[in-house]
Amino acid sequence: NGIDPQMWSDIFSVEKVTDLKPMSIETNGMLAQKTVLRQPLKIGEYSLKISTRSDNRIFIPDGSELKYLHLPPAISQLSYDLNHGYDMVSDIHWGKPSNSKIDELLQWILRNRKKFMVAGELVPKELHTDFVCYRGLLAKIMTTPYETSHRWVICATKYRGTIYLCQFHESYPPPDDYYNKMSFGGFRFESFVTSYDPTIPPDPNDFDPDHHEYCAVMRSRLMAENVSHSLAFGAELDCVVPNLRENPGTLSNFVELKTTKVMAKEFQYRNFLKHKLLKWWAQSYLVGVPSIYCGYKDEKNVVKDVEQLKIESFPELCLEFWSANVCLNFLNKFLLHLKELVTIDDPNVVYQLAFQPHHDITCTRLVEPGDFQILPQWYIDEFAV
Ligand code: A3P
Ligand code: MG
Ligand code: MG
């Protein structure tokens, strides 16, 4: 789903075939807590091996790509050079968004349809779930009230009562070397602090350029005053902490890994709270991952300091810049709007929602979905029997 630049600008400029009521991004009255997310529970897992050079993707129906966090006992003495190994892989476009739509999540669903059955149901005919999507899409919507620079396109299809959502990414030319190296650094940091074996620490010289992802499938419910939305969503998870007691069914023993530049000046720290912590909060809050291990990169792109940041502390820390209530209330408003908009239950009908900063979200029903089709024929066929 990498959309070429011409097609992308058409989405925002060309006259629409069917123009539906746009959705306002106004958030007046959204500061109070009205919407809550029920504790997200894990209902399954799968793994992916993605070749960064060929884009070939392999779906593995188990948790074999789960990695464990390893930090040295003396955190003050660590030193991770995030440039290490970059020379060998500088031809790879490191920040490139995935172009796989939601196929792998759908594969998992087909294999686990029983998990969606309700009491008394003999054959699984529907998922009894309002929305199916990736966690990243939910985070994107939640943070939209504060988005002032990036546009997005999300498509929706209703099939057997469930609305499937998929984000479509703009295709970019390869980034310049500096930006590419920064994206590589995020993955390199992960390889310094994680390994497949909880008892064997990672080899700092070892780096596999392919992506190895562990994904969890989560279930939750967004609950507002007179309405609620059941959700099933997939999420890529960085690692689990060895020997940490988990709260069964939750991701309480997982951590998210991030890197950011050392902040020397007040304005840098304020920007960090305003932009990064908003995104980091939305990403981890949605799956109930309680903390982030943040590696601070110095001017040479070397991490000499890692700090554990608690997700629950972010909303108060960032009160001046963004509100968790606004994010959750807006997500509720968006999902409610989708339920009103996406009325035709047909796997071949696609509704397209497009956002650009400072504008309402436009809603279009595509007569010919083409590349924007979300559900593949193999998924529809399997359900039809
Ligand atoms: P950092 O954000 O720590 O630098 P995630 O943190 O979501 O698990 O992503 C892991 C890494 O993938 C990021 O590490 C970053 O290097 C890279 N990455 C993810 N999304 C990206 C994007 N939109 N553009 C560029 N790089 C991205
Ligand atoms: Mg990750
Ligand atoms: Mg990460």
How remote is the CA of residue 215 from the centroid of ligand 2, in Å? 9
What pLDDT sits at residue 8?
A: 86
How remote is the CA of residue 283 from the centroid of ligand 2, in Å? 10
> In the structure, which protein residues have their CB atom closer than 6 angstroms to any atom of ligand 1?
95, 183, 186-187, 238, 258-259
What pLDDT sits at residue 343?
A: 96
Q: At which residue do the structure tokens 């994206």 appear? A: 183
Residue type, 271: N
What string of DSSP letters covers 229-298?
A: EEEEEEEEE-EE-TTPPP-TTS-TTEEEEEEEE---SHHHHHHIIIIIHHHHHHHHHTTT--EEEEEEE-
Distances from the Cα of 68 to the Cα of 85, 192, 209, 218, angstroms:
22, 11, 18, 20
Q: How many residues does the chain have?
A: 385
Closest CA to 34 of 289, 339, 331, 335: 331
How remote is the CA of residue 205 from the centroid of ligand 2, in Å? 21
Distance CA 167, CA 138 (A): 10
Nearest alpha carbon, ligand 1 atom 2: 258
Distance CA 335, CA 138 (A): 10
Going residue by residue through the chain (385 aa), what tens digit of pLDDT does each one get? 688 888 888 888 766 777 789 999 999 999 999 999 999 999 999 999 999 999 999 999 999 999 999 999 877 789 999 999 999 999 999 998 887 899 999 999 999 999 999 999 988 899 999 999 999 999 999 999 999 999 999 999 999 999 999 999 998 888 999 999 999 999 999 999 999 999 999 999 999 999 999 999 999 999 999 999 999 999 999 999 998 998 999 999 999 999 999 999 999 999 999 999 999 999 999 999 999 999 999 999 999 999 999 999 999 999 999 999 999 999 999 999 999 999 999 999 999 999 999 999 999 999 889 999 999 999 999 988 7
* Three-class DSSP category at 197: coil
What pLDDT sits at residue 75?
A: 74
What pLDDT sits at residue 15?
A: 65
Closest CA to 305 of 117, 142, 75, 114: 75
Exposed / middle / buried, residue 89 (Cβ in 10 Å: 0-12, 13-18, 19+): middle
Closest CA to 39 of 215, 219, 214: 219
